[in-house]
Amino acid sequence: MRVALYTETFLPQINGIVKVICLTLEHLQRCGVEAVVVAPEESIDSYAGATVIKVPSMRNPFYPKGRVGIPNADTLKQIAAFDPDVMHMFHPSFTAFRGQHFARRLNVPTVASFHLDLDHAINFYRFKPISSVIRRLMVWEFNRSDLALAPSPRVQQQMLDLGIREVGLWRRGVDANKFHPRLADAAMRNRLSDGHPDDRLLLYVGRLAPEKQVDQIKTVLERVPGTRLAIVGGGALEQDLRKHFCGLPVTFVGHLVGDELARAYASADVFVFPSAFESFGLVLLEALASGLPVVSSKVGGAPHVISEGRSGYLFEVNDVDGMVNGVRHVLRDPATLPAMRLAARQDAELHSWSHIMDELVHCYQAVVATHRVPIPQTAAQAVF
C-alpha cells in the first residue's frame, strides 16, 4: 500500500499535529507501507523513509508562526508518479484542499483526520465574524473525504452535530515504553526545581501560546504552599510569561525532546494543563504514562483519559479555583500522590500507539476497498 499524507505543519516545527504525523510515518514504515508527505517548503527532506514533497508556502494570516502550503501542478506530477492508493489529509487546510482536488483527478480515496479545534480557536482569537464561513468550509472539506476521523468520542459527536458524515474514531495514544515512571531522575528534578528538589514540583509541557493559558498557574503557586513550577517548551509568549511569573519559583526549561523530555515528566509531581481548547492534548497521555497525576481543564481528550479522583482532576476552562483545588487534592497527604502515580500509569497503558495505528491502517484498507467517486460539489455551493 502507498499513502500520501498532506499537512500544513511538519518538522522542524514541533507541535501535536507533527508528533502524530511522525508516529504515523514510523508505524507505516514498520508495516511496510510506502508513504510521502506533502508539506510547506520549510519542512525537512524526509522522515522514517518517507520523502517530503515540498510545496510553495506563505505566512498564515491567522497564525503568524505558521505557513499555508500551496500545492501546484508540479506537486500533482510528483503525487501521480508516487501513485498512492489513499491520501490522508491531516485536518482540512489549503494544502488538504488542493490534495482533495488531486485525489479526484487521480481517482484516489481520501481520509481526513481532525487535529485542530478551529471553532474554538477562531473565537479565542476574536475572528468570530468569519467563524460561520470557516465552519462551513471545514464541514465541506471533511465531507469530501471517503472517511473523516475524530480523535475522541467527544469530538466525534461534535463533528456529527456539525453535519459531517461518516465520522470514524482514530484515538490518540502514547508510547508507554518511551514515557515511563522508571525514568525519574534526581539530576533532572534538581534542574526542573532550580535546586529545590524537596518542593512539590508542578510541570507544564507545551507551546507558550495564548490559548494554553499558562499564566493561570500563577494562582496555584500563590495559594498552594511549597509548590514550584517547571515550564517545558517555548513560544511567542515566553518573555511575557517570564515577567508574569517574576519573583515566583518558576523554572523556564525550554524545549526538551526524546529521553530528556521523558525524564522531565517522570521527575515531576503533578502535571498542570489550563488550556482553553485542544483537539486532544497528547501531553496528557505522556504525563500519565510517566506516572504523573494530571490536573487539566476539560478540553480535548482530557475527560476520556483522566479518571477523576484516581489519576487526576478536571476543571472547567478558566475555573482557576477548580485548578487550585485539583492540585491541593493530589498533594493533600503523603499517601495520595504515590497512589495516583500508580493509577496514572495504569490508565495510560490502555492507550497503546501500536494498536491505535493498526486501526488507522485498517481504515486506509477499508476506504481503498469501498472507494467511490463522490458527486462533485463546489465550494461556493457548500459555503453559500
pTM of the model: 0.77
pLDDT mean over 77-90: 97
Q: Could you tell me the pLDDT band of residue 330, with boundaries at 50, 70 and 90?
A: very high
In 3D space, the residue among 302, 207, 301 whose CA is nearest the CA of residue 254 turns out to be 207
> Across the chain, what does the average pLDDT equal?
90
Q: Which of 28-42, 51-65, 222-236, 296-310 has the lowest mean pLDDT?
A: 51-65
Residue 381 pLDDT = 37
pLDDT mean over 106-128: 74
Question: What cell was used for 247?
Answer: 519573583
Q: Which of 56-70, 73-87, 149-163, 287-301 has the lowest mean pLDDT?
A: 56-70
Residue 91 pLDDT = 81
pLDDT in tens, 146-158: 999 998 888 898 8
**CATH class assigned to 181-348:** alpha beta
Residue 119 pLDDT = 58
Q: How much helix, strand and coil, in percent to the nearest 5, is found in the chain?
A: 45, 20, 35
| CATH 3.40.50.2000 domain span(s) along the chain | 2-173+353-383, 181-348
Residue 172 pLDDT = 87
In 3D space, the residue among 356, 29, 294 whose CA is nearest the CA of residue 169 turns out to be 356
pLDDT score of 372 more than 90:
no
Residue 123 pLDDT = 59
Sheet-wide strand order for 294-297: 250-254, 227-232, 200-205, 270-273, 294-297, 312-315
Residue 339 pLDDT = 97
pLDDT score of 378 more than 50:
no
pLDDT mean over 241-250: 98
What CA–CA distance (Å, rounded) separates 102 from 72? 10
Q: 2-173+353-383 in CATH: which number? A: 3.40.50.2000
Residue 380 pLDDT = 35
